[in-house]
Amino acid sequence: MSQRQFPAPFVDLEPFAAWALATEGQRARKRRDSTMVEIQTFYDAILPRMDAILDHLNQLPLDNMPEESQRLLHLTLALAEVAPAVELFNQPLVTDGYDPERFIPQQGQ
């Protein structure tokens, strides 16, 4: 069994650990490389857990949290990344949008 990725109360989110990516560039790539079913499954799993997640994370210093909590924070940022796909476009990429490979986030954000 692989090592636990998130704090103990959030063990149910372990199957989505691959979404816990540190930069916008990585999260945006994961969004465009995923199917809508994969995105929707992740969205449906994390959305009802967000209040508990933020309650947990908000008690920790943002710039100095344990690694497991840091990964959980990155998971919430992945929800922010995929939200427009689920809620607005009903497809991974912006409908009739610009090539995301050409719209480059700066400084590893």
Partner 1 sequence: MAAVAKMDGWTPTPAKVWHQQHPELGTEPIPIEPYISQQYFELERERVFRKTWLNVGRIEELPKPGSYLVKDLPICQTSILVVRGKDGKVRAFHNVCSHRSNKLAWNQQGNCQNFSCKFHGWTYNLEGQLTFVPDEENFFDLKKSKLGLTPVACDTWEGFIFVNLDSQPQETLQEYLGELGETLKGYPFAEYSVERYSWSTELHANWKLLKDAFQEAYHVAFLHKRSIPDSFTGKSNPFAHGLDYKLYRRHRQMSVWGNMEHKPTPVEGLAYRSGTLIIRNDFSADRLPPGVNPTKDQGWALDLNVIFPNFFVDISEGSYFTYNMWPLAVDRTLWEVHNYFPKAQSAGQRFSQEYSKVLFRDVIMEDSSTLEQTQKVLASGAKTHFVLQDQEVLIRHDQKVHEDYVGFYKGR
39's tokens: 């995105």
**Angle at the Cα of 75 (from 93 to 1), degrees rounded to 5?**
115
State which of residues 9, 14, 35, 50 lies at the interface with partner 1 (CB under 8 A): 50
Q: Are 71 and 5 in contact (CB under 8 A)?
A: yes
Is residue 83 a contact partner of residue 43, using CB atoms and an 8 Å limit? Answer: yes
Residues 64 to 93 in contact with partner 1, rule: CB under 8 A: 65, 73, 76-77, 79-81, 83-84, 87-89
CB of 36 to partner 1, least distance (A): 15
List contacts with partner 1 (CB under 8 A).
24, 47, 50, 54, 57-58, 60, 62, 65, 73, 76-77, 79-81, 83-84, 87-89, 94-100, 102-107, 109
